Chain A
């Protein structure tokens, strides 16, 4: 925001309140109420407003107080955000960033625990990235703001408390690249967002059992980084996808298809995809735990794939 005066933040409670998860804390004091705009509760309209502002020269960042609320903005995101560059024949660009906390939290109930990446993934014209660490959150956010394309940046409710040392100097990550978390030889585990931590936990157990998993945080949900993924598949010949979104029509489903189409010859076993159950996230703690993929399930799946 300091570098470019056209960058502004639009969302509910982003200004005086500092954001529902304090992401925009103190920004309103520094930049004023118009650059960090507190909106009324009208997701569809303020998303559309941000799109109109982007078409006329600004670079807004739209915050969904919870990503689930952006379902109300689906009209604007699908029809205008994704399509206007194309239907205007390239005349207008929509350099917006749509971000917000999503994912399954701790007993927040069904409507506040939604994973919208699968709902938005078919929209042509948008890019989707999911951040998972403080380092890649900063780098991806900067890249998203500087990108001329509309980008949806998925943050996770449970990851806001992570602490990490990050470089002082400026760095910008690549929106389309995946991140190699742990190189390995036996199996490729593809994951993103919070599941990265479940996978790393499972990886500890697996290493103790003698396996050598390669863990890749795909980060870019749309488009997939087929180069990094492909190199890994060519090396290990086995793929396990671990994701938090639902089984039906999820990111894993698309990724499975992409891998099968492009790297079929390199696979020794079918691609296995572990996703959340196709249920609305229950409130009860035990039920919620069984909805999402747990480290023990990951360990079992790897053992079966690598038998």
Chain B
């Protein structure tokens, strides 16, 4: 079949079938073209036909290549566009990033069960395509804001694996000096603005970073400031007030931000379909005047195409975009989650769509790289991760003097002590207590 033109008007979900089912009915009918049994939590139900309403067409203004591209295809997971979407270098970069994410997270699991890592650790296995697809398109000055599932976002943005690993081990050499932990990965150098434990908390912060970008361009007259912010969050967050409030504000002021929903269908044990009145998250964008797009998040190339469009829109000053990536986490919500609620066939279905295997197949089939070259990358990453663990292991634990150090940017905030001097001026200050 011929390559479809890359011209789209409405925000469409992918893999629409040829039968014309109404969007609402399709929620409960499994797609017949894919031989997977349907069950309540299946994402099959989210794949819909085009919304027929002219209203939907009128609302969206942006152009997305992805949906049209896949429309005419057989809806199996690993058929790709004959015209190559990436160059060899780009492909290798994406592959390396995803392998790094996967190996790192697997190593985290090992280290956790060996007692080197503690608390709540949320692993990203299976969702690497979203991180690689989006973040690899950014400049260093662009900001990324994430949630507690943030290790791989930090890695994709450029934070060294050893810094992230030592942070997880709670050592002083960690990216946040061991004070943040798994859920609070920050890096000023790479513009990673966290790492937030409560869901939805990071979205306003991302909106603020985008606001700064606009402020710098318009008030501070830094005309070339076109920094974009990406806010990553999950399906559960899309029922939270902060999500909607920020969609409104970002649309109102046309902030350079992309809202990326990593819809992995489960919020710990709560299925997205049980929690949401209208599970199609991309539809919530047009309610605020923002284009909403649904993308196959297990396919890094499709994610990348959608990301390119959204990020370019933001850079041009056309405002925010809402991108819903349909993805899946192969492991439980966190390492403490027994993961008993998810159906085995659902897991198997997504395991078969592993983004790393898919990209590997694509690159080999299209002669972008040989198996041997990819193996070299895998070996290199293995070494990087091993080295990160060694580095973290051998790093020192924080001492008592670090306890009071970063509470205030200006330590005069600890106040004037009974002797009339600022408490922070006392040389033994950091050995004391923090009460004010």
A48 adjacent to B176 (CB under 8 Å)? no
Q: Of the listed stretches B72-80, B240-248, B341-349, name the one at the interface; the rest are far from the partner chain.
A: B240-248
Please name all residues of chain B whose beta carbon is closer than 8 Å to the beta carbon of A262 when the two chains form the complex. 418
Bitwise interface map of B from 231 to 243 toward A, beta carbon under 8 Å scored 1, else 0: 0000000000110
> CA A53 – CA B216 in complex, angstroms?
11
Please name all residues of chain B whose beta carbon is closer than 8 Å to the beta carbon of A228 when the two chains form the complex. 416
B209 adjacent to A88 (CB under 8 Å)? no
Q: Of the listed stretches B11-19, B89-97, B321-329, B406-414, name the one at the interface; the rest are far from the partner chain.
A: B406-414
Which residues of A in the span 85-131 have a Cβ within 8 Å of any Cβ on B?
A: 85-95, 124-125, 127
A227 adjacent to B418 (CB under 8 Å)? yes
> CA A288 – CA B216 in complex, angstroms?
47
Bitwise interface map of B from 400 to 436 toward A, beta carbon under 8 Å scored 1, else 0: 0000011111101111111111110000000000111
**CB of A254 to closest CB in B, whole Å:** 9
Please name all residues of chain A whose beta carbon is closer than 8 Å to the beta carbon of B220 when the two chains form the complex. 5-6
Bitwise interface map of A from 32 to 65 toward B, beta carbon under 8 Å scored 1, else 0: 1011000110101111111111111110000000
B416 adjacent to A225 (CB under 8 Å)? yes
> CA A89 – CA B186 in complex, angstroms?
8
Q: CB-nearest residue of chain B relative to A10?
A: B211
Q: Of the listed stretches A75-83, A209-217, A236-244, name the one at the interface; the rest are far from the partner chain.
A: A75-83
Give the one of B246, B413, B422 with max A CB within 10 A: B413
Please name all residues of chain B whose beta carbon is closer than 8 Å to the beta carbon of A86 when the two chains form the complex. 179, 406-407
B204 adjacent to A40 (CB under 8 Å)? no
What total of chain A residues lie within 8 Å of the partner, measured CB to CB? Answer: 61
Which residues of B in the span 41-77 have a Cβ within 8 Å of any Cβ on A?
A: none
Given contacts A149-B413, A223-B436, contact A85 B407 (CB under 8 A): yes
A47 adjacent to B209 (CB under 8 Å)? no
Cβ-based interface call for B178 (8 A) = yes
Given contacts A56-B208, A88-B176, contact A227 B416 (CB under 8 A): yes
Given contacts A44-B204, A49-B207, contact A91 B176 (CB under 8 A): yes
Please name all residues of chain A whose beta carbon is closer than 8 Å to the beta carbon of B371 when the two chains form the complex. none
Given contacts A48-B203, A53-B215, A220-B415, contact A40 B252 (CB under 8 A): yes
Cβ-based interface call for B187 (8 A) = yes
A223 adjacent to B414 (CB under 8 Å)? yes
Residue in contact with A177 in the complex, picked from B143, B414, B416, CB distance below 8 Å: B416
Which residues of B in the span 148-181 have a Cβ within 8 Å of any Cβ on A?
A: 174-181
> CA A279 – CA B181 in complex, angstroms?
41
> CA A225 – CA B413 in complex, angstroms?
11
Cβ-based interface call for B301 (8 A) = no
A52 adjacent to B193 (CB under 8 Å)? yes
A45 adjacent to B186 (CB under 8 Å)? no
A-B contact pairs, 9 of them (CB 8 A): A40-B248, A49-B211, A51-B204, A52-B205, A76-B201, A86-B406, A90-B406, A125-B408, A227-B420
Known contacts A52-B193, A56-B209, A149-B408, then 20 further A-B pairs from the complex at CB < 8 Å, ordered by chain A residue: A42-B249, A45-B204, A45-B242, A45-B245, A46-B245, A49-B208, A51-B205, A52-B211, A56-B212, A57-B212, A84-B186, A86-B179, A87-B176, A88-B195, A89-B178, A92-B193, A148-B410, A176-B422, A223-B413, A227-B419
10 tightest A-B contacts by CB? Answer: A52-B208, A48-B204, A223-B415, A223-B436, A89-B177, A89-B176, A88-B186, A52-B205, A45-B245, A42-B245
